[in-house]
Homo-oligomer: A and B are copies of this chain.
């Protein structure tokens, strides 16, 4: 449902800013885009597999995910998206969505008509380059997920997922106290890592047992960042961020 609250248009640059230097002019152009604010309850879909997208989705608050359903009905989450992300930019160029897009927690998003985005890109190629970079980074993260699921065991996968989420949140200015809210149930964590929920539980206990993290509900505290990083074989290069780990206080 559309809301009347004011939209935080700086969110438009938040994600872009972590990977590229967005000029003042580009910010102004982006801020002028027509936005339709929508509030989503937990689990709500913005887009379903097979639908033809007419708008691009900007996450304002909450955590969203893209997912696919395989033949036997099981779900695979293919990416997580934080405030400032544009999870479905490739919808600008594809006729039908090959995945669903839904809210993992109550979220607010801004819908941007693809027509307006296309016009902006056409008139202002430098903005197009920014968005292309965002799509490219998205692809890079997808590749790392493939490697994560294909070649690491359950504990490593989970550790890697938490590392990625933590670093991305941090880059956006969240999680300053090393406490990160990962609003996923264990079942959803399993959908993201290709593990069954019951086993996620045991893996999380393992991570906690080793003193890497501690949890209370959805809120997780990173107790031993070097250890978690090592356990997850985490190297942030694939995130293509402008800031180094050191600059994020995560040396």
Contact = CB atoms under 8 A, between A and B. Distances in A.
A132 B92 CA distance: 9
A147 B68 contact: yes
Nearest to A132: B93
Nearest to A195: B150
A17 to B, nearest CB: 16
A96 B146 CA distance: 19
Interface in A148-165: 149-152
Contact of A70 (B71, B93, B140, B147): B147
A139 interface: yes
Interface of A: 50, 66, 68, 70-72, 74-76, 78-79, 90, 92-96, 98-99, 121-122, 125, 128-129, 132-133, 135-140, 142-147, 149-152, 193-194, 233, 237-238, 240
Which 4 residue pairs across A and B have the least CB separation, nearest first? A150-B194, A71-B233, A90-B136, A142-B142
